[in-house]
Amino acid sequence: MSPTDPLHPPATSGPLLTATALQKSFGDNQVLKSIDLHIDSGQVVALVGPSGSGKTTVLRCLNGLETPDGGTVAFRGGPSVDFGAKVTKKEALSLRDRSAMVFQNYNLFPHRTVLENIIEGPVQVQKRPRKEAVADAERLLARVGLAEKRDDYPFNLSGGQQQRVGIVRALALQPDLLLFDEPTSALDPELVGEVLTVIKELAEEKWTMVIVTHELAFAREVADQVVFMDGGVVVERGHPDQVLRNPREERTRRFVQRLLNPF
């Protein structure tokens, strides 16, 4: 296995990401009050919580889609970026390039074929040889069962297929960390399974992932760590069996109850 084999995560272990005291406000609305995250290589972290609790904002801060107002983010081997101080563009970009986001609405490029969507980053940004990027993309597509769709345009694919392409597009960048922002929320119920299956396989291969999700059963199955957020703070975190079956905090218990018995 080459170190850049796109079918496998970077072979490392130990702490990958440390984020401390992340804060973010939009106007008067303080979305993140103080968030700490510690993620080891190969770990799957499920971020759960009611809507508006700041889960998605955490992901977006890690990927540089939002700039936190305060707190630090550090990846292994990189600088600890302190958002309380002045952050240079270079520092911000160094964080962005460690992770890749899978969006709720896929956000595939509608004017490019499936294959072109996937090789865009490797070829245009990472400047890898096109032939190599295409070969990798084809192998990744085959693995998610979409080999024959390589020359289709996104609008010819179902939502589940589009999301699998979205996952492959992120994988092709060979990031240290995969970020999933409610990856199945926009899907018809019968298409959710095919996407979750892919994510589960990635978990088994020890990709490091943070998943914002409302699928608690799925979180319990794949996550090594569940982080329950509410009101911009982490209310409770720990092993999924503990947080989701025997929550210590009343707020967690109410949330889990509501999702298990919505009526």
Partner 1 sequence: MDWELLRTSFWPMLHGGLVGTIPLSITSFVLGLALALVVALMRISGQPALAGIARFYVSVIRGTPLLVQLFVIFYGLPSIGLTIDPWPSAIIAFSLNVAGYAAEILRAAILSVPKGQWEAGHTIGMSRTLTLRRVILPQAARVSVPPLSNTFISLVKDTSLASLILVTELFREAQQIAAFSQQFMLLYLEAAAIYWVFCLVLSSGQSALEKRLDRYVAH
Strands 80-82 and 44-48: unpaired
Shortest distance, position 44 Cβ to partner 1, whole Å: 19
Which residue's CB is nearer to partner 1, number 211 or number 234?
211
Helices 159-171 and 130-143: angle between axes, nearest 10 degrees: 130
What number of chain residues touch partner 1 (CB under 8 A)?
Answer: 25
Is 96 an interacting residue with respect to partner 1 (CB under 8 A)? yes
**CB distance 184 to 213 below 8 Å:** yes
Residues 122-181 that bind partner 1 (CB under 8 A): 124-126, 153-155, 169-170, 173
Residue among 88 and 124 whose Cβ is closer to partner 1: 124
**Near partner 1 by CB under 8 A: residue from 6, 42, 54, 64:** 64
Measure the CA–CA gap between 79 and 145, rounded to whole angstroms: 38
The Cα–Cα gap between 40 and 32 comes to 22
| Cβ contact 99:171 at 8 Å | no
CA distance 28 to 26: 6
Least distance between partner 1 and beta carbon 91 (Å): 15
Neighbour count for residue 160 (Cβ, 10 Å): 20
97 binds partner 1 (CB under 8 A): yes
4 scored as a contact of partner 1 (CB under 8 A): no
- Where does this chain bind partner 1 (CB under 8 A)? 63-65, 96-97, 100-101, 103, 105, 107-111, 120-121, 124-126, 153-155, 169-170, 173
